[in-house]
């Protein structure tokens, strides 16, 4: 069975990791989200705040975080991030 996270769950993970990367709580109010649709399917979502960007590749199940120069700072495996919560439920 494939676990497919919903956008609300992923957005919460993105916000938490942005905080860990030094983004202030107040700045998260300006979080911009963009959806990439190809052939009628959501393929990716990107999140931008301050000089940081995160990209959720929906089919792969990971979110990658980048600085303003495009250097990858961190990768979050959504299966690992969501598994503890789903098992507890």
Range of the domain at 67: 7-88
Give yes or no for residue 82 having a pLDDT over 70. yes
Q: Give the per-residue pLDDT at 70.
A: 95
Q: Is residue 1, in this structure, part of any structural domain at all?
A: no
Contacts of 56 by beta carbon, 8 Å cutoff, 6+ apart:
10, 14, 44, 45, 46, 47, 62, 63, 78
Q: Is residue 2, in this structure, part of any structural domain at all?
A: no
Q: Give the per-residue pLDDT at 4.
A: 67
Q: Is 63 exposed, middle or buried (0-12, 13-18, 19+ CB in 10 A)?
A: buried
Q: Is residue 51, in this structure, part of any structural domain at all?
A: yes
Quickly count: other Cβ atoms within 10 Å of residue 15's Cβ: 17
Q: pLDDT tens digit string along 22-62?
A: 999 999 999 999 999 999 999 999 999 999 999 999 988 89
Number of domains forming the structure of the chain: 1
């Amino acid at each position: 069975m494939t676990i497919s996270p919903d956008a609300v769950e992923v957005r919460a993970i993105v916000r938490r990791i942005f905080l860990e990367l030094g983004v202030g709580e107040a700045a998260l109010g300006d979080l911009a989200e963009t959806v990439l649709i190809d052939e009628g399917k959501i393929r990716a979502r990107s999140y931008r705040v301050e000089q940081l960007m995160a990209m959720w590749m929906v089919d792969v199940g990971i979110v990658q975080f980048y600085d303003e120069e495009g250097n990858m700072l961190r990768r979050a495996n959504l299966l690992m991030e969501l598994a503890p919560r789903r098992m507890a439920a």
